Structure 1
Amino acid sequence: MNQAGESAEKLSYRGWRGIRAAFATPSALTMALLGFGSGLPFLLIASQTLSTRLRDVGLQLGEIGLISLASFFYLLKFVWAPLIDRSALPLLAWLGRRRSWLLAAQVLVTVSLFALGSMRPELGVAGLVGWVLVGSFAGATQDSVVDAYRIEIAPESAQAALAATYILGYRIALIVAGAGALYLAQFQSWTVSYFCMAALMLVPIVTTLLSPEPVWPQATVVRRIDFLGAFWQPIVSFFTTNGWKLALGLLLFVGLFKFPDQVIGVMAGPFYLDSGFTKADIATVSKLFGIWMSILGAFGGGLAIAAFGFRRMLLVAALAVALSNLAFLLMAHNPGHLWAFYAALSADNVAQGFAGTVLVAFMSSLTDRNFTATQYGLLVSLANLPGKFAGGVSGYLVEATSYSAFFTLSALTVVPTLGLLAWLWRRIKEPVPRTAGSAHAHDRPAHP
C-alpha cells in the first residue's frame, strides 16, 4: 500500500486538525502538481487565453464564441472514461491503469500546444480548430485520470483537502497560462507564448512518472464487465445507488451549479479588451491578482467544508457565483478604470475558487469507486455542459444587447439551482469520517 493509503487508515481527516493533516500528506503535493498539469492547457485551448488571442488578431465575437465549441471534448470526457476505468493503456501498461493513460494524455497536450503556437488564426482558423480538438481531447483525458487518481488515493474525509491542493496547482497553472502567456504575447509573440507553455508540461509529466499507482482492490470485478457493460454499468450503478428520482435531481443540480460563471467565460477576455485594457493589464489583474484571489477562495472552500459540511456551503457557493457576476457591471460602467477591474476580479475569483472546491468535494462524495473515472467524468461534464453551449452563442447575445444586460441575465440563472438545492436539502448526506478500525476507503462506494 502506498503512503497515502496508510495515512487514510490512520487518520480521520475531519475538523481543523484533520484537515491540516490531510494537507500535509504526500498525496496533497502530488495532487498540486497534477492539478498544475490539468490547469495549464485549459485557458490556452478552451478558454480565455485563446479567446483573447483570437480577439487580439481581429476575429469577431460571434466567431470566437463558435470556435470555443471546438473544445467540446472537455464536456464529453465521460464517453471514453469507461475505457480508462477498465484497463491500462496498451504499450504503457507497465505504468499502471491510471498512470499509463495520464502520461499519454500529457504528452499529447504538449504536442498540441506546440502546434497551436505555430498557427496564424488571422490567416485562417481551420488548422487552429483541428489542434483545439486534439488538445481538448487530450486535456479532457488528463482531467479524467487525475480526478480518478485523487478519489482513489484517499478516503472521502480527505477529499476536501486534496480538492483544495489540486485546485491550488490548477490555479497556479491558470496564472502561468493566463498572466504568463499574456505577458509573453505582449512583449514577444503568441508563438513564443504557446511554445513556453508547452515546455512547462514537463512538470506534470515528471510527476506522473514519479508518483505511485493507487491501490484498487475492486479491479478484478470491473475488468470482468464486458466492453458494452463498461459504458452502461457505471450509469446503472449511479441510478441504483441513489434511486432514479434523486439521481436525476443530483445530475441536474450539478449541471446548473456553476452555470452563471461558465456562461460568461468565453466573453471575459474580449470584454476586458473592449473595456480598454491592454494584454499586460489583463495579465496583471485577471491572470495574476485574480488567480491568487481564486486560490484564497479555494482554500476557504476546503476549510469551510471541514468545519460546516456540504449542504450549507453548497448554498453559499451557488449564491456567491451568481452575485459575483454583477460585479462586472462596475467594469461595464467604468471602462478603463483599474479600480473597477480589481474589484470585479476580486469578487469573481474568490467566488469561483470557493465554489470550485465545494463542487469537487461534493461530486467526489457521489462517486462509486468501482467506476471512478466514468462517474466523476460524467459529473464534471454535466457541471460544464450547459454553460459551455450557452457560451458558444454568448457573443451573439452580447452583440444583440450589451455587456451589462449579459452579466445581469447570467446572475439570474441561479434561480433554478436554488430551487433544486431546496428539494435536495434533506437528501444530501454528509460524508462519514473514517478512523482506524473503520472500513477502508476502498471497501465500499462513496455516496451521499
Structure 2
Amino acid sequence: MSTAFTNIVARSTTWTVLGLLAGLYAAQSVTGSMVQTALPVVLRDAGMPLDQIGYLAVLFLPWALKFLWAPLIDRFLTERSWILVCQVGIILCFLAATALPPQTHMAWLAGVLLVMGVFAATQDVATDSLAVRASDANSRGLASGASTAGAYLGFLIGGGLWLVVYQHAGWAVSMASMAGFVCLLTIPVFLSSGLAAPRERRVVGTHRIGLRTTFANRTLTQGLIFLVVYQVGIRMGSSLTGPYLVDKGIVLDMIGLLRGAGGAVAGFIASSLGALVVQTAGITRSIVIAAILNAALLAALAVVEFANTVSPTLAVGILLLQVGAVAFSFVALYAAMMNWCNPDQTATDFAALQSIDAILAIAAASVAGVLGKAFGYGWLFSASAAFILVAILLAPRTLAAARHGARNSVPEKVSKP
C-alpha cells in the first residue's frame, strides 16, 4: 500500500513540474513570437519589401548570442532568481515600446526590442536549465512536450492575439497589453521554488564550466551535425509564412486568429501527441517521423505554388498542419538536446545548442527573404524540404552516434513515469 501511495505522490509531483514548466515557457515565448512572427506581418502590411523583412531577423540576435553569458547562470544565483529579474525587464521594455510605433520610430523601437531580447534570451537560458534539471530519463519526453505546449500558449499571445489587439486598438494599447500578459505569466515563477534540487558545489579546479567543456562533449557534437542541417530546412520554410499569408490576401486580424488561436491549438495538440510518441517510440524514431512530416508538407506547398492553383483556404490548411509538424519536431528534438547536456552545466550546454539554432534562424530568414523575392515562394519551400530530406539521410549516423555517447547516462527510449 505504501508503494502505491509513493507512486501516486511521484506522479502528482511529475504533473506539477510539467504544469509549472509549461507556464514558464509560455512567459518566455511571448516576446520571441511577437518579434519573430507578428512584427513581420505588420511591416509587410505597411508595404515593407520581403528582403528587408528577412533582415529584421537580426532582432533575434540575443537568442543567438546567449551562450556568451549562459555560464553565469550555471555559476551564480538560482534559475528562479534570473527568471524573475528578466520578467521585470521584459515588462519595462514593453511599456517603453508603447511610445515607439514602427512606422515612425523603427530605429528606436529596434533598440528597445534588442534590449528586450537580451532579457528574454537570458530568461530562456534559465528556464531551459531548470527544465533539464527538474526532469530525468523517465520524464524528459513529457517535460519537452509540456515546454513546447507552454511555448505555443505564449505564441498564441505574442504571435496571434497581439495582432488582433493591434488591428483594433493600435500600437500603444497592444504593447501595454503585452506587458500585462507578461505580468500574469510571472505567477508560475513564484511557484517554481524547489522545482529542481540545488546544484552540487564542486571542488575548485575539478570542473570548469564553459564552452570548451561543451564542445568536448562528443554526445553533443554528434547530435549538432543533424541539428544544423535539419533546422536550416525548418527555419527557411517557416520564416516567411506570415508575409506569405498577407500576399494571399488574408487580412491582419484573420492572420492573427489563424496563426494565434489556430496555430496554438495545432501546436498544443501536436506537442501533446508528440510527448506520447517520444515516450513510446523513442527519441530518434520520433525525430525522423517529424522530419518526414515537415518535408512532405513543405513539398506540398511548393507543388501548389508551382501549379499556381493554391487558394487561401488550402494555404492556411497546409500551414496549420505544418505548425503541428514543427511542434511535434520540437518535442522530439528538444528531448534529445536535453539528453546531450552535461548535468554539471545544463544552462551552458543547452544555451549553446539553442544559440546555434538561433544563428541558423537569422541566416535562414535572411536567405529565405532573398530567395522568396528572387524566385518566389515555390522555390523557397522546395529548398526547405530538400534540407530536411538531407537531414533524414544523416539521422541514422549522427543521432545513433549521439545516442551511443549518452547511453551510459541517459537511455534513448524515455519510459513512462
Same fold? TM cut 0.5: yes
In the alignment, structure 2 segments of 5+ residues that lack a partner are 413-417
Map Cα deviations across residues 59-99 of structure 1 (whole Å, 9 max, x no partner): 222221112212211122222110110111xxxxxxxx111
**Local SS of the residue matching 2:133:** helix
Contact kept, 8 Å, 2:248 with 2:312, in 1: the verdict is: no
The verdict on how the C-alpha distance between 1:124 and 1:265 changes in structure 2, with shifts beyond 3 A counting, is farther
Aligned-pair CA distance for 1:357: 0.5
Residue type of the alignment partner of 2:209: A
Q: Verify: 1:133 aligned to 2:114, yes or no.
A: yes
Residue type of the alignment partner of 1:33: G
Aligned-pair CA distance for 1:256: 2.4
Pairwise mapping of residues 261-300 of structure 1 onto structure 2 (< 5 A)? 261-300=234-273
Aligned counterpart, 2:368: 394
Q: Verify: 1:178 aligned to 2:159, yes or no.
A: yes
Q: Verify: 1:156 aligned to 2:137, yes or no.
A: yes
Residue type of the alignment partner of 1:388: I
Aligned-pair CA distance for 1:419: 2.7
Aligned-pair CA distance for 1:11: 5.7
The verdict on how the C-alpha distance between 1:28 and 1:400 changes in structure 2, with shifts beyond 3 A counting, is same
**Local SS of the residue matching 1:211:** coil
Pairwise mapping of residues 173-212 of structure 1 onto structure 2 (< 5 A)? 173-212=154-193
Q: Verify: 1:410 aligned to 2:399, yes or no.
A: no
Map Cα deviations across residues 320-372 of structure 1 (whole Å, 9 max, x no partner): 2222223434774356x442133212321120111010011111111111101
Residue type of the alignment partner of 1:29: G
Cα distance in 1 for residues equivalent to 2:130 and 2:56: 31
Contact kept, 8 Å, 1:314 with 1:355, in 2: the verdict is: yes
Aligned counterpart, 1:40: 30
Cα distance in 1 for residues equivalent to 2:403 and 2:51: 43
Cα distance in 1 for residues equivalent to 2:155 and 2:403: 33
**Local SS of the residue matching 2:139:** helix
Q: Verify: 1:358 aligned to 2:332, yes or no.
A: yes
Q: Verify: 1:346 aligned to 2:320, yes or no.
A: yes
Residue type of the alignment partner of 1:149: L
The verdict on how the C-alpha distance between 1:215 and 1:249 changes in structure 2, with shifts beyond 3 A counting, is closer
The percentage of aligned residue pairs carrying the same residue is 22
Aligned-pair CA distance for 1:217: 5.5
Residue type of the alignment partner of 1:117: T
Cα distance in 2 for residues equivalent to 1:98 and 1:287: 29
Aligned counterpart, 2:201: 220
Cα distance in 2 for residues equivalent to 1:225 and 1:233: 15
The verdict on how the C-alpha distance between 1:86 and 1:432 changes in structure 2, with shifts beyond 3 A counting, is closer
Aligned-pair CA distance for 1:416: 2.9
Aligned counterpart, 2:415: none
Pairwise mapping of residues 91-130 of structure 1 onto structure 2 (< 5 A)? 97-130=78-111
Aligned counterpart, 1:60: 49
Residue type of the alignment partner of 2:17: S
Aligned-pair CA distance for 1:179: 2.2
Contact kept, 8 Å, 1:159 with 1:364, in 2: the verdict is: yes
Contact kept, 8 Å, 1:74 with 1:381, in 2: the verdict is: yes
Aligned counterpart, 2:17: 27
Residue type of the alignment partner of 1:36: A
Map Cα deviations across residues 171-191 of structure 1 (whole Å, 9 max, x no partner): 111112222111112211132
TM, length-normalised to structure 1? 0.83
Contact kept, 8 Å, 1:152 with 1:215, in 2: the verdict is: yes
Aligned-pair CA distance for 1:192: 1.5
The verdict on how the C-alpha distance between 1:199 and 1:169 changes in structure 2, with shifts beyond 3 A counting, is same
Contact kept, 8 Å, 1:30 with 1:211, in 2: the verdict is: yes
Aligned counterpart, 1:377: 351
Contact kept, 8 Å, 1:367 with 1:376, in 2: the verdict is: yes
Aligned-pair CA distance for 1:216: 4.2
The verdict on how the C-alpha distance between 1:446 and 1:130 changes in structure 2, with shifts beyond 3 A counting, is farther
Contact kept, 8 Å, 2:295 with 2:389, in 1: the verdict is: no
**Local SS of the residue matching 1:201:** helix
Cα distance in 1 for residues equivalent to 2:297 and 2:12: 30
Aligned counterpart, 2:282: 309
Residue type of the alignment partner of 2:34: L
Cα distance in 2 for residues equivalent to 1:189 and 1:326: 37
**Local SS of the residue matching 1:258:** helix
Pairwise mapping of residues 401-440 of structure 1 onto structure 2 (< 5 A)? 401-424=375-398, 426-429=400-403
Among 326, 329, 352, the alignment partner of 2:299 is 326
Aligned residues: 407
Aligned-pair CA distance for 1:232: 3.8
Q: Verify: 1:234 aligned to 2:207, yes or no.
A: no
Contact kept, 8 Å, 1:253 with 1:420, in 2: the verdict is: yes
**Local SS of the residue matching 2:210:** helix
In the alignment, structure 1 segments of 5+ residues that lack a partner are 1-6, 13-17, 89-96, 434-443
Aligned counterpart, 2:38: 49
**Local SS of the residue matching 1:136:** helix
Cα distance in 2 for residues equivalent to 1:152 and 1:116: 35
Cα distance in 1 for residues equivalent to 2:95 and 2:57: 19
Residue type of the alignment partner of 1:34: L
TM, length-normalised to structure 2? 0.89
Map Cα deviations across residues 292-312 of structure 1 (whole Å, 9 max, x no partner): 111111111100011111121
